[in-house]
């Protein structure tokens, strides 16, 4: 009887020490789930989900505070991937957060721009070049099409231009594979 209790206690102590040690030494920094979710999100940093960027939204999904269908730029495909990662049901995009749009880039009408720098401060990826009272312009390659520069512009000189498909970005269409109707 005593021996059994002793053995059990000894095991408990050993296991406790091992677990305690590993909890400290093998601790994973950050939230690995949030990082995985962040890797799926499109990184437009548009804030349409209601969070100030993709990373906070990823953290909110990981914490269970946000749903997986709040990201319009990610589209249905993004929802599908998130559902797969989290092992939950796929659901349609939440329309209250906006609808998916074709990929666009912001273009500044340089004739109208007054050089107020408000758009530069709004751009989440520093894709706008310019200085106070100097013309601003957008680095198209860096623009994520988040539209965050549109509301602060006092002269409405920024417009969103959908990206036209050029040769290097052209994709083969999925072949139409129609089956013959028998009945």
Partner 1 sequence: MSRELFKFNGGIHPPQHKAESTQRPIHPAPVPHRLIVSLRQHIGNPAKPVVAVGERVLKGQMIAAAEGTISSAVHAPSSGTITAIDMQTVPHASGLPDLCVTLDTDGRDEWIARAPLDHLQLSPADLRAQLRNMGLVGLGGAVFPTATKLDPGKSVKVPTLILNGAECEPWITCDDILMRQYAAEVLQGVSVMRYMLDSDVVLVGIEDNKPEAIAAMQLAAATLPFAVEIVTVPTLYPGGGAKQLTRTLTGIENPSGSRSTDVGIQVFNVGTAYALYRAVFHGEPLISRLVTVTGFVLRPQNFEVLIGTPMQELVQLAGERDGATGLLMGGPMMGVPMPRTDVPVVKATNCILVKSDELFPPLPRALPCIRCARCADACPADLQPQELFRFAKSDDFGRAQEYHLFDCIECGCCSYVCPSHIPLVDFYRYAKSEIWAREKEKIAADQARERHEFRLFRHTREKTEKADKLAARAQAQRAERAVSNPPAELATATSASTDPEADAKKALIAAAIARAQAKKADAAPKNTDNLSAHTQQEIAEIEARRATIRAAAHQPLEQEKNP
Interacting residues with partner 1 (CB under 8 A): 38, 41-45, 53-55, 124-127, 142, 144, 165-167, 169-175, 177-180
- Between 41 and 113, CB nearer to partner 1: 41
- Between 154 and 177, CB nearer to partner 1: 177
Distance CA 143, CA 110 (A): 17
Smallest distance, partner 1 to C-beta of residue 60, A: 17
Instruction: Give the list of residues 6+ apart from residue 123 with CB closer than 8 angstroms, or none.
Output: 148, 149
- Between 26 and 141, CB nearer to partner 1: 141
- Between 15 and 131, CB nearer to partner 1: 131
Smallest distance, partner 1 to C-beta of residue 167, A: 5
Smallest distance, partner 1 to C-beta of residue 14, A: 42
Smallest distance, partner 1 to C-beta of residue 110, A: 23
Smallest distance, partner 1 to C-beta of residue 127, A: 8
Region of 87 on the Ramachandran plot (φ > 0 left; ψ -120 to 50 alpha; else beta):
left
Smallest distance, partner 1 to C-beta of residue 39, A: 8
- Between 53 and 130, CB nearer to partner 1: 53
H, E, C per residue of the chain: CHHHHHHHHHHHHHHHHHHHHHHHHCCCCCCHHHHHHHHHCCCCCCCCCCCCCHHHHHHHHHHCCCCCCCCCCCHHHHHHHHHHHHCCCCCCCCHHHCCCCCCEEEEECCCCCCCCCHHHHHCCCCCEECCCCCCCEECCCCCCCCCCCCCCCCCCCEEEEECCCCHHHCCCCCCCCCCCCCC
- Between 42 and 130, CB nearer to partner 1: 42
């Amino acid at each position: 009887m005593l021996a059994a209790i002793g053995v059990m206690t000894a095991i408990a102590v050993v296991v406790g020490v091992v677990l305690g040690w590993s909890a400290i030494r093998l601790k994973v920094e950050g939230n690995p789930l949030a990082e995985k979710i962040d890797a799926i999100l499109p990184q437009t940093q548009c804030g349409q989900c209601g969070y100030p960027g993709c990373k906070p939204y990823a953290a909110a999904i990981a914490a269970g505070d946000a749903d997986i269908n709040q990201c319009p730029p990610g589209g249905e495909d993004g929802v599908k991937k998130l559902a797969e990662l989290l092992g939950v049901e796929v659901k349609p995009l939440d329309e209250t957060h906006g609808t998916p749009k074709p990929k666009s880039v912001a273009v500044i009408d340089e004739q109208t721009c007054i050089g107020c720098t408000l758009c530069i401060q709004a751009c989440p990826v520093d894709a706008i070049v310019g200085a106070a009272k100097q013309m601003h312009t957008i680095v198209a390659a860096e623009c994520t099409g988040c539209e965050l520069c549109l509301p602060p512009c006092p002269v409405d000189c920024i417009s969103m231009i959908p990206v036209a498909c050029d040769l290097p970005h052209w994709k083969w269409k999925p072949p139409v594979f129609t089956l013959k109707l028998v009945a």
